[in-house]
Chain A
């Protein structure tokens, strides 16, 4: 049975959905070890046990500069765990940390994975999800970054007890990158865009007003996304951008409101399980990939749908 290591930069009391997917995947490969590059709260340790994690390696944060601590922590964890496969989240930071350590230990890395089999064959998306490919590593430690919404989050039938060890982390070796300032983003009560089960996204057609998109997202307990046209216009934060240069989403339900569906936009959402499109232009390319399409006025359709959902849920 291969040994799997899961690496997190941070772990809060309740692991996020994407983190639980990583734990589920690791447990399906072999007895997983988890390494975290910061302090881990007691509640999170219990959660790890529920996913079959028997060993936790902790490298308390020492973030004097950007990246260094995470690099040193992952390198130490790879050496100490002797894992054959290391799984991390698919965000830019986790990818970069894994990719650098893959170079350091002469391993390899596969990004955008959606599954790893017990014999370490990685299934991944290619060309923005228009292809599915399988790849294998011939030697060295294999690092894999997993797309959210790929694995059914499943705790183990029986929880295990977790032994916690502190990682011996060597001093940073990379040239220093200093953190000069930190701006916290405005916290949202909505689910995280990349992890949400439901995403409602608005584009040029919302004409500067996202309130109807937000109201429908809230009725469905979903996240709010946007096309690049909408973020470039300054109608909504750039963080909401879905597409080739924004985030990629793969929710159960994607509602596209007033987005034409140009190829760069489709790249960010075409692996959604169900796509609903609302657009006033019957020729909008998004209708070619929609499971259900409405040619109509957003200002009428979105509030009516939100109202109907609230009525049925009442």
Chain B
């Protein structure tokens, strides 16, 4: 084994603070921005935190010097999502908080996040969820791989890491196939909700998280100009956003033996058969 192969792993797990999908979500009609008041850690990011922490545990644990740094960009309240990640086992947090980031499209978001990963420095692996539950583009992990020149291992159904070769392999669906893909670190890994079962932090983990540090960074720390990010730096402008009219419940019948026929009558009325 070479010296490099035994070096501790430095993993950044990206988390996003998003409006809780359990409630009605709103886009403000004046600012055209998403109302972020009832926000939580995106539930798909819990799989990313679990994947990062489980990977460390499989390689001798945090005692071996491995790090999992939970990173986010967002307003002040977004640090709550870092705290949740710390409770789940991440070792520290880093929070990019700058007003100028508001209105960033994915190309710019990936620029800021790539700068954040570079600011953390010497990162071996970036782990993300398969998609955010708010914008749902699921393209930022691929864009990060592009910007960081890391191998792209995304939409992982499962994750295997070989500590000796420092190779990561995943399975992913692609067209009518399931592929097994492998790449050497450094890499960007995104995991699906099939990849693991995220842990629930216990009382001990919650107390331990209180002692972990969260570092705040600004755009200036990353060497990014305010006009290079946010709405000013983004090509995409949202022109309008309207709630679709709520669907109204139609006729509901109780089956008294002929409901299957009634269903077909309805299809025929609607010219669907």
Interface residues of A (CB under 8 A from B): 9-10, 66-67, 91-93, 95-100, 102-104, 106-112, 121, 126-140, 142, 174-185, 187, 198, 220, 238-239, 244-245, 252-253, 263-264, 267, 270-271, 274-276, 278, 282, 287-297, 300-309, 312-313
Contacts and interface: CB of A to CB of B under 8 A. Distances in A.
B107 A137 contact: no
B266 to A, nearest CB: 5
Q: Report, as a range, how many residues of chain B touch the other chain.
A: 35 or more
Nearest to B235: A108
Given A135-B237, A140-B235, A178-B183, A301 B252 contact: no
Contact of A291 (B105, B142, B250): B250
B136 interface: yes
Contacts, number: 260
B252 A177 contact: no
Contacts of B63: none
Interface of B: 21-22, 25, 27, 32, 34, 44, 105-107, 110, 130-131, 133-134, 136-143, 145-147, 149-155, 169, 173-184, 186-187, 192-194, 234-244, 247, 249-255, 257-264, 266-268, 270, 272-273
A292 B183 contact: no
Contact of A96 (B154, B179, B249, B254): B154
Contacts of B181: 66, 177-180
Contact of B139 (A67, A95, A106, A198): A95
A304 B152 contact: no
A182 B178 CA distance: 6
Going nearest first, the 6 A-B pairs with the smallest beta carbon separation are A304-B260, A296-B255, A99-B139, A108-B235, A96-B142, A305-B260
Given A289-B247, A308-B264, A109 B107 contact: yes
Nearest to A238: B194
Contact of B179 (A181, A198, A291): A181
Given A135-B236, A244-B21, 20 more contacts: A92-B154, A92-B155, A99-B140, A102-B106, A106-B107, A109-B137, A109-B139, A126-B27, A130-B244, A134-B239, A174-B146, A176-B183, A180-B180, A185-B178, A239-B173, A245-B193, A278-B259, A282-B252, A300-B260, A306-B260
